[in-house]
Each structure stands twice: as structure tokens, then as C-alpha cells.
Amino acid sequence: MRKIQKEIDELNNKYFPSKSYINCDIKYFNLDLLVQNIGYFDIIYMDPPWRIKGGQQVDSQFMFSNSKFSLEYNTMSNKDIIDINIETLSKKGFLFLWILNTQMDIACQMMQKWGYEVVDKLIWIKMKDKNIQLTHGYYFMHSFEMCLIGYKNNEFSGESKSNYMEQNYPQFHQYITNNVIFSEVRKKSQKPDEIYEIIELLIPGSKKIEIFARNNNLRPGWLSLGNQLGETYEQWLNLVCCDECKQEITKQKLMRYKSKYRHNYDLCQNCVQHHNKEDFFEIQNKVYEDVLHQYQQCNHCRTEPIWGIRFHCLDCQDFDLCEACVDLNIKENDKFHDQKHQMQVIEVPIYADGFPVHDKRCSSCYMMPITGTCFTCHQCSGNFNLCQNCFFNKSSEKIANKRHKQEHVMDPILSPTKNSKTKKYKCGGCGLANLNGEIFKCLNCYCFYFCQSCYDTKRDNFKTNIASSHKTYHTLVKIQTKNEDLDEKKNENENENDNDLKQKDQIHDQQQLIQCVQENNNNQQENNKNQSLQNTMIKQRGRPKKKISNLELYMDKLSKQKKSQENSEK
């Protein structure tokens, strides 16, 4: 095996025995001149700096910009990438192209333009501390990246077939591995080393070139092209180091102190003791991945949403900056924001970031819950709801269905309606339902709770599962809840007591009624005698007198009895 591996290494290092690279801007580099001096390549490997929003030909609600990328490398639009003359680098061979999950269609167009046919793909399952890593997506949390594989095999023309087959094109080996790679996430945009090993096993001795390479990707047997190669780019910006003791702050999980008045100046928690802490932003450094501030825009560079740390001004109205613009404001002489203003450092945003959250599902994109303004159709009895993205971006023809018609009117709901029933709480750690008393609520998740036991044992070592996006760096607060079952029993007992009192009052009233009727019968004869006397008095006075009925006499007597009973009770 060692002998075979040695032969493979010798074949792979045949063209470029050392780590060969050219530091250049791919957009302006002459690839034709490269082919004239070196020849055609069998393997082309690309990891383009995709611009997630702004580079696509048609805007889509499923894409968002990424200001964090601008801190480390310049992104390129889809048009810039497809205009690169990749087709000149090879006449026959493979192209490995890393793509975004939302850019499948444009990636296939690029393959076709460069003369390649998509034949397969590789899936990289991202791992973090031996667990599957979850990152932000539109419908689901994402845990993988995709590499498309294209193959080019130009037909021979003019020459004999034997001469064509004798050209120096290596044969490739099939079934060397499966199409799934499980590998740990490392530096920003760094792909797993297994992809290089797969390529080298696929075509041993092939001539290989990597486009958009970086220092961590340099390998013997490869020619690397990129604008971040060499000693200048050895120190990556996403690894923040203390400017005094030079140790890595982010890697060591130390508290970070960013200067408010010195450009790109950071100190660790030990070195800051020799300085005035009021001159620094205190960053907890508890987040081990880039966090998306989904509903916030940088007020200077206009990137939306903000990735990483967000700086919120407490003196201005609705003013936020990304970290790059904070450094830029310190560096420039003409300040676009007053440095005396108090800035709040936000590493992890509160869920929905102050926007209303409706416990409803969007009938178009199926988003649950709906954040922001909810639009509901009362003609559909409130069973048809839309989020503001679908309401403004989709036509009425697309969102109409068998029940909801185009002519129906959608009314906006600005504030969420509260349920009349007591809310039920379920522990996200052990699954215990109907929690009551003191529980712990996550401020960064939707409806995620811990019971006291799980809070004590799992809050610092909770493994994210499929049903939750909760992370160990999220903030948990204690809240007081009610037990719905106990409340229902209490209400039932109160209702039973009320019914018993009502029944007793009804029986008492019936007894009084019977007694009054008996007394009325006994006094009937006396009333008849009094009637003749009343008629005589009416004739003497010369005016009519209203006849007093037995019912009126009974009601008058009943009211007097009730008044006397109330007075006795008092």
C-alpha cells in the first residue's frame, strides 16, 4: 500500500511538485496566456465568492446579503463569475464547482456555458464538535454544502481516431467513494480536505488547477489562482488576535474588548486591565458561529441583514452598524456617526427583534409563526393568512386557491391576538408537557422552554436536534406560568358552587311563591268585600279609579317580603 501511495503521490506531483500559486484578480487575469505557457488542464476546481444577494439576475425573497463576507474577501455577482473564460482552460476533463443551495439553476447555466455537462454532485455534511452543524436557511436549518461535478469530452475532428486516443488524457477511476463527505467546519469558507483526496484518486497524474484558491488550500501537484495568496493573507480577519499579547481571542474563547477610538484594535480580557475599559466595546465572545440579524440593516453600507456583531446606537432612532462600518467610522476623518453616542453590542438578537409575532401559518410559503404584519382574509373565516413577504411579492393569482379567491380583501393585523385559553408550555429538553410554576424561556428562539431540571443539567451542554434551533449561547430567563389543568378544575368547582347557590335560591323563591299564593287565596274573600267599598268611593269622588288586580297585590307583597329579608340580613 505504501508503494502504491508513493506512486500516486509522484503522479499527482508530476506537474507542480511544490505548492505553486499565482496571486491575481481572476476577473482580469489572462487565462489564454496561462494555457499557452502551461497547456490544458484535466481538473478544474472552483469555489467562487458568491454574492448571495445583488448578483442574481432576478431578485428573490429566498436570498439575503452577507456583510460578514465583505470583511474577508470581495464577492462577485453571477454575471462576473459566468463571464470568466473557464472554457479555455480545458478540452477534456472534470470541473468541480461549489455552489450555494439557492443557485442551482445559475450554476447549471455556468456549466453549460463553459462546455461541461453536469454528471454528479458531492454533498458536504458540516460537523461542529462531532455534531451536525445547523446554519440559517429560509424554510429549514441548513447543514450541508453542494459541489457540482461537470464532465467535458470534446469530439475529435480531422485527425484519426487513433491519434486522438493517444493524446495525453488520463483515464479516470469509478466508484472510488460515495458522494457524501462528513467533515468538521474550520476557517471561513474553507472546504474539507477530503475533496482534494477524492479528486486525486479520481484521476491520478492529472493536471489540476484551483480557481479562487486561498492559502489554506495550497497543495503540491496543484496550480492555485486567487487574490488572497502569499504572506499578505496569512492572517485571516475572522481570527481576532489581541494587539498586545498576540494570542487568538476568538479561538481561546476569551472576552474581547474592541477599541472605540482606534481602528481595528482589539484586546483580550487580560491585557485590557492596563487600559480604561470605558474606551472599549465589551464583547462576550460566546458565539461560535456567525449570527444573522435577520431584520436589521446597516445604516451606512446598507447591507441587509447584518451578520456577526451588530452595534446599535442608543442615542439615535433606529440606527445600527456592522463591525466593518464601525471600524470605518473610526478610521475616516469625516465621521458619519458621532463617536460620543452610546453603542450597544448585540451578539445574538432577540427572537423577531421586537417585531410582532403571530401564532399563525402563512398559507403561501407555510412560514410559522408569521413575523411582522400578518394579512388575513375574513371572508375565509380567518383561515387564510399571509406573511408580508408573500403579500407584497406574490400576485393574487399565485396565492389564490379553491377557497381563497382573487377578489377577497386581505386585512392587515399589526398586533398579534392573544389566545383566550391558558398557554401550554413544553420542555425542550425532556419533552415534559403542561409545565407550571417557574420555567425558563429562551429569548432567541420561538416557544423554547426548559424545566428546572433541564435548566440545571442541559443549559450549557444541550445538543441541537432536528426539532429545535436552540444553541448553548442563547439567553434563558425565568418566567412564572400557570397550570391549565388546575385552573380548569378550579373553574369547574367554582361553577358547581355557583350552580348550587342558584338552585337553593330557586327553591327558596318557589317556597315563597307557594306561601304567597296560599295567603292570596285566604284573602280573596276580604278583597271582594273591599271592592264594593272602593266602587262607592269612586262614585263619590267623580273620577275613575284603576282596578287593583290580584297579581299586583301579590307582587307588592312579594317585594315587601324581599325588602324585609334584605334588611334582616344586613
The residues pairing with 312 across neighbouring beta strands, listed in sequence order, are 320, 344
Sheet containing 476-481, strands listed edge to edge, beginning at the edge strand earlier in sequence: 449-450, 437-442, 476-481
Q: Which helix (H) or strand (E) holds 34?
A: helix 31-38
Distance of alpha carbon 515 from alpha carbon 193, whole angstroms: 100
Domain match, 26 and 78 both: yes
* pLDDT for position 319: 92
Q: Are residues 34 and 140 in the same domain?
A: yes
Picking from 446, 73, 405, the residue whose alpha carbon sits closest to that of residue 233 is 73
Give me the pLDDT at residue 550, please.
54
Cell readout for 70 is: 465583505
Tell me what percent of the chain is helix, strand and coil, each rounded to the nearest 5: 30, 20, 45
* Residues 384 and 445 occupy one common structural domain: no
Q: What is the pLDDT of residue 537?
A: 53
Checking if the pLDDT of 22 tops 90, the result is: no
| Domains: count for the chain | 3
Q: How far is CA 407 from the centre of its chain?
A: 33
pLDDT above 80 for 92: yes
Same domain, 401 and 424: no
Assigned C-alpha cell, 545? 279609579
Could you tell me if 275 and 265 are in contact, meaning their C-beta atoms sit under 8 angstroms apart? Answer: no
Q: What are phi and psi of 182, to 5 degrees?
A: -105, 115
More confident residue, 259 or 561: 259
Same domain, 495 and 359: no
> Quick one: DSSP state of residue 418?
P
Domain containing 454: what range?
419-499
26 and 116 assigned to the same domain: yes
d(CA 284, CA 462): 20
Which of 384, 413, 442 is where one domain is finished? 413
Which SS3 state, helix, strand or coil, does residue 11 take? Answer: helix
CA–CA distance, 453 with 353 (Å, rounded to integer): 29
When pLDDT is averaged across residues 470-495 and rounded to a whole number, the result is: 66
Q: pLDDT band for position 55 (50/70/90)?
A: very low
What is the rounded average pLDDT of the residues 105-132?
A: 88
Q: In Å, how far are 35, 266, 346 from 277, measured between CA atoms?
A: 57, 12, 18
pLDDT score, position 44: 93
Q: How many CB atoms lie under 10 A from the CB of residue 396?
A: 13
Give the pLDDT score at 424.
Answer: 74
Measured distance CA(176)–CA(199) in Å, rounded: 10
C-alpha cell at 433: 408537557
Identity of the highest mean pLDDT range in 82-86, 475-479, 535-539: 82-86
Sign of CA dihedral 187, 193, 199, 200: positive
- Lowest mean pLDDT across 47-51, 127-131, 339-343, 530-534: 530-534
- Categorize the per-residue pLDDT at 350 as very low, low, confident or very high, splitting at 50, 70 and 90: confident
Phi/psi of residue 87, each to 5°?
Answer: -65, -20
Q: What is the DSSP letter of 189?
A: T
- What are the DSSP E strand ranges found in 446-507? 449-450, 476-481
What CATH number corresponds to the domain at position 15?
3.40.50.150
C-alpha dist (Å) from residue 310 to 41, 206, 292, 306? 44, 47, 10, 7
Residue 149: the pLDDT is: 92
The confidence score (pLDDT) of residue 465 equals: 43
Give the model's pLDDT for residue 457.
Answer: 82
**Are both 17 and 153 inside the same structural domain?**
yes
Tell whether 68 and 159 lie within a shared domain.
yes
- The pLDDT of 230-246, averaged and rounded, is 64
Identify the weakest region by mean pLDDT among 21-35, 179-193, 478-492, 538-552. 538-552
DSSP summary character for residue 143? -
Domain co-membership, 399 together with 459: no
**Amino acid making up residue 547:** K
pLDDT in tens, 485-510: 445 555 555 555 666 665 666 666 66
Same domain, 219 and 109: yes
Q: What pLDDT does residue 45 have?
A: 94
Does residue 225 share a domain with residue 105? Answer: yes
φ, ψ for residue 279, nearest 5 deg: -90, 10
Q: In terms of domains, do 212 and 151 share one? A: yes
Would you say residue 561 lies in a domain?
Answer: no
Query: Distance between CA 321 and CA 337 in Å, rounded?
Result: 10
8 vs 128 pLDDT, higher one: 128
User: What is the residue whose three cell numbers read 403571530?
Assistant: 358
- Nearest Cα residue to 404 out of 437, 364, 452: 364
Give 253-298 pLDDT, tens digit per residue. 678 899 998 888 989 888 999 899 888 998 887 776 667 787 788 8
Query: 538 in a domain, yes or no?
Result: no
Please tell me what DSSP assigns to residue 316: S
Average confidence score pLDDT of the chain: 75
Query: At which of 413, 433, 457 does a domain end?
Result: 413
Task: Give the Cβ contact number of residue 463 at 10 Å.
Answer: 11
Strands 266-268 and 256-259: antiparallel
> What's the pLDDT score for residue 86?
92
Q: Does pLDDT of 475 surpass 50?
A: yes
* Bridge partners of residue 313, in order along the sequence: 343
| Alpha-carbon 72 to chain mean position | 23
Least confident residue range of 208-212, 270-274, 416-420, 538-542? 538-542
Sign of CA dihedral 373, 377, 378, 380: negative
Which regions of 164-274 does DSSP assign to beta strands (E)? 180-184, 208-211, 222-226, 256-259, 266-268
